[in-house]
């Protein structure tokens, strides 16, 4: 009887405390909040703080931080804004009131098969039709773009069988993102002299009429 009592006591301990062989030790496991490096995105409309998903998109995070560390994003703009979809930036800089495309590095491997879902508030890499073409441009999802939202499904294996790699999430400043998504847009924008100009590489749709600056992106302290 004594051994039987010890057996049930052990079962009770495991049911209350979980499998001792699978104890949770990381901050993410303890709190349920993803851990990873954080960045501060200073914009002309406010500050956004994002946590990067180093666990599920390590190549993408390393690539993004390489641009951050060399100040690539300073004085760039959100050049594509769609209020029910996403805000995209990081590829054009303002020069004398005209948005000019910046020269970026080589494309990276698309990590969308292993990345988190394209839901509201997540950061993902922009790319061309080539799945491994993402360089510096990124976007912030302002809706759930995982098949449950109003526009499209950006998750793997959708979007031509490749998806878009999520590499971070907004943890502070989603109200700023929501302000940006509501700005007036056109195929033209207003330059610093108050004249109508076009993005220098040609006609682009959904360009904010008044440029929304990314003043800088830095690693958080």
Asked if residue 140 lies in contact with residue 87, where contact means CB atoms within 8 angstroms, the answer is yes
Q: Does residue 30 or residue 184 have the better pLDDT?
A: 184
Phi first, then psi: give them for residue 180, nearest 5 degrees. -65, -40
Please report the pLDDT score of residue 2 as a whole number. Answer: 41
Domains and CATH numbers, the chain: 30-219 (2.40.100.10)
- What integer is the mean pLDDT of 52-68? 97
Please give the share of the chain, as a percent, with pLDDT higher than 90: 63
- What integer is the mean pLDDT of 137-152? 92
Q: Which residues contact 150 (CB under 8 A, 6 or more apart)?
A: 84, 143
Please report the pLDDT score of residue 134 as a whole number. Answer: 96
Please report the pLDDT score of residue 187 as a whole number. Answer: 76
Asked if residue 165 lies in contact with residue 117, where contact means CB atoms within 8 angstroms, the answer is no
Q: Is the pLDDT of residue 93 over 60?
A: yes
Please report the pLDDT score of residue 189 as a whole number. Answer: 54
How far is it, in rounded angstroms, from Cα 108 to Cα 61?
A: 11
How far is it, in rounded angstroms, from Cα 183 to Cα 88?
A: 13
Q: Long-range contact list for 86-89, CB < 8 A, 24+ apart?
A: 86/124, 86/139, 86/140, 86/141, 86/142, 86/143, 86/145, 87/139, 87/140, 87/142, 87/177, 87/180, 87/181, 87/212, 88/126, 88/137, 88/138, 88/139, 89/137, 89/138, 89/139, 89/212, 89/214
Residue located via tokens 């971070």: 168
Q: Long-range contact list for 2-8, CB < 8 A, 24+ apart?
A: none
Q: Name the burial class of residue 102, with classes exposed (0-12), middle (13-18) and buried (19+) by CB atoms within 10 angstroms of its CB.
A: middle
Asked if residue 90 lies in contact with residue 68, where contact means CB atoms within 8 angstroms, the answer is no
């Amino acid at each position: 009887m004594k051994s039987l009592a010890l057996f049930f006591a052990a079962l009770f301990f495991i049911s209350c405390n979980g499998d001792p062989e699978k104890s949770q030790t990381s901050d993410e496991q303890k709190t349920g909040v993803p851990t990873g490096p954080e960045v501060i995105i200073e914009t002309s409309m406010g500050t956004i703080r994002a946590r990067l998903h180093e666990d599920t998109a390590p190549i993408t995070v390393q690539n993004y931080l390489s641009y951050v560390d060399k100040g690539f994003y300073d004085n760039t703009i959100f050049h594509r804004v769609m209020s029910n979809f996403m805000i995209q930036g990081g590829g054009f800089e303002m020069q004398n009131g005209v948005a000019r495309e910046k020269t970026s590095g080589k494309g990276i491997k698309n990590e969308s098969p292993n990345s988190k879902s394209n839901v509201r508030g997540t950061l993902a890499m922009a790319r061309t039709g080539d799945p491994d073409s993402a360089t510096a441009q990124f976007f912030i999802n302002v809706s759930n773009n995982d098949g449950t939202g109003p526009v499209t499904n950006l998750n793997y294996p959708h979007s031509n069988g490749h998806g878009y790699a999520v590499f971070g999430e907004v943890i502070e400043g989603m109200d700023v993102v929501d302000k940006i998504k509501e700005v007036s847009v056109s195929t033209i924008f207003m330059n610093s002299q108050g004249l109508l100009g076009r993005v220098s590489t040609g006609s682009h749709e959904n360009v904010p009429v008044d440029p929304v600056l990314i003043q800088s992106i830095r690693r958080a302290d």
